Amino acid sequence: MDQRMYPTEGYGDEIGTLVRMLELARFETIREIEGLTVAELDFLLTKKSNSIGALLQHMAAIEHIHQILTFEKRDPSEEELEECRAALFLGEAGRSEVKGNELHTYLEHLRAVRDRTLTYLKTVEREWLYEESTWPDGTQINHYFLWYHVLEDEISHRGQIRLIKAQLS
């Protein structure tokens, strides 16, 4: 994959650059997990760690929640939170509920969530990135920050995936 940063065709400049960042981050994540078995995806370094599979589901859950927050401009419903709670918050629920899946299952889920993001991003303009809101604690945020967080979360967890993979060898 081309490693240059530039706007993705079909999007405005700033939105297209965000799309390019999302694409590069995902490309690297997929490259990192290629060929992993169910046992490798479910492996736990410790009794309290997260598996690679759980981290992949977490990436998709974070992106899904950010779609709701930024594109739908609302908080997720209890039902929506319940559907992704184990992956979103990880911990014991993530360890017990997110396991036993083939790699293609995780890849398909990541792809489906990303496809929705890309569809949504085609509907917004540069100004959307700077729309502001406030966290419950009063912290000011904007959409750009929230999508930075989606990127940062995936990149951070990819580092964890590399650490886990190193212990598999």
pLDDT in tens, 2-36: 777 777 888 988 999 999 999 999 999 999 999 99
Q: Is residue 143, in this structure, part of any structural domain at all?
A: yes
For the chain, percent of residues with pLDDT exceeding 70: 98
Q: Supply the pLDDT for residue 121.
A: 96
Confidence band of 61 (pLDDT split at 50, 70, 90): very high
Range 24-28 contact pairs with CB under 8 angstroms and sequence separation of 24 or more: 25/151, 25/154, 25/155, 25/158, 26/110, 26/114, 26/154, 27/1, 28/158
* Higher per-residue confidence, 169 vs 135: 135
Q: Is residue 106, in this structure, part of any structural domain at all?
A: yes
pLDDT in tens, 116-136: 999 999 999 999 999 998 887
Q: Is residue 8, in this structure, part of any structural domain at all?
A: no
Q: Is residue 37, in this structure, part of any structural domain at all?
A: yes
Q: Tell me, what CATH number does 56's domain have?
A: 1.20.120.450
Q: Is residue 2, in this structure, part of any structural domain at all?
A: no
Q: Is residue 3, in this structure, part of any structural domain at all?
A: no
Domains identified in the chain, total number: 1
| Domain ranges, residue 24 | 13-168
